[in-house]
Amino acid sequence: MSKTVVHVLRHGEVHNPAQILYGRLPGFRLSELGVQMAKAAAQGLAERTVVHVVASPLERAQQTAEPIAAQFGLPVGVDERLIESANWFEGKKVSPGDGSFRDPRNWWVLRDPVTPSWGEAYRAIAERMFAALHAARVAAEGREAVLVSHQLPIWTLRRYVERKRLWHDPRRRQCGLASLTSFHFDGAKIVGIGYSEPAAHLVATSPTARTAKGA
């Protein structure tokens, strides 16, 4: 059987001076540091056999994919299945103490953390991401592909593949900015999952790395 690797890359830091949960809102692009993170991710993949690059339609994901695609002389494809999850709090501030979670008028939205009640169901996220993962595996059969997506969809996909419950503590996600979650296939079977942070040295300098909204 053919050995294939699909790397699922989280985008770099986003310019978000208002510190809102930007989710699927248009116009949120990489910060200058985020651009450097994207370049670091590309450098981390330089010795790989990448033949397929696809990204979420959101600007920050497309930007993150560009240096990788350019490095391998490839176009950047778009897959809607890689998009950020829908979230009721999109466009609002959600940091501790800013009011959105403390306002009793919003508590009804937080009633069910398992589905969850405030956004797209974890199961729906997992299924669309899993379909995108296998589509990339087919496109890059015997070599490697890169998919650029967002923190929650990537972490949900990983938990789904690992057969873990999908609801989780967001503070425990292993999915840093510009990180790679790599799925190793033997034929159509996933035989391993790797994780790396090629932009870790840059993330350490980011004041928003721990509080990136709608990432």
> How many angstroms separate the CA atoms of 53 and 8, rounded?
10
Q: What's the rounded mean pLDDT across residues 207-215? A: 60
Q: Are 183 and 6 in contact (CB under 8 A)?
A: yes
Hey, how many other C-beta atoms are within 10 angstroms of the C-beta on 25?
Answer: 14
Say what the pLDDT of residue 204 is: 87
Say what the pLDDT of residue 99 is: 60
Phi, psi of 209 (to 5 degrees): -60, -35
Say what the pLDDT of residue 106 is: 83
Say what the pLDDT of residue 212 is: 55
Q: What's the rounded mean pLDDT across residues 185-191? A: 97
pLDDT band of residue 150 (cuts 50, 70, 90) is very high
> How many angstroms separate the CA atoms of 14 and 214, rounded?
10
> How many angstroms separate the CA atoms of 114 and 103, rounded?
21
Say what the pLDDT of residue 8 is: 98
Say what the pLDDT of residue 136 is: 98
Structure tokens at 56: 């979420």
Task: With CA atoms as reference, report the closest residue to 49 among 140, 147, 185.
Answer: 140
* DSSP annotation string for 108-140: GGGS-TTTTTTBS-HHHHHHHHHHHHHHHHHHT
pLDDT tens per residue, range 2-55: 899 999 999 999 999 989 999 999 999 999 999 999 999 999 999 999 999 999
pLDDT band of residue 213 (cuts 50, 70, 90) is low
Q: Are 14 and 29 in contact (CB under 8 A)?
A: yes
Structure tokens at 135: 């589509």
Identity of residue 165:
R
CATH of domain 3-20+29-86+121-203: 3.40.50.1240
Q: Could you tell me if residue 73 is left (phi over 0), alpha (psi between -120 and 50 degrees) or otherwise beta?
A: left
Say what the pLDDT of residue 84 is: 98
Average pLDDT, the chain: 93
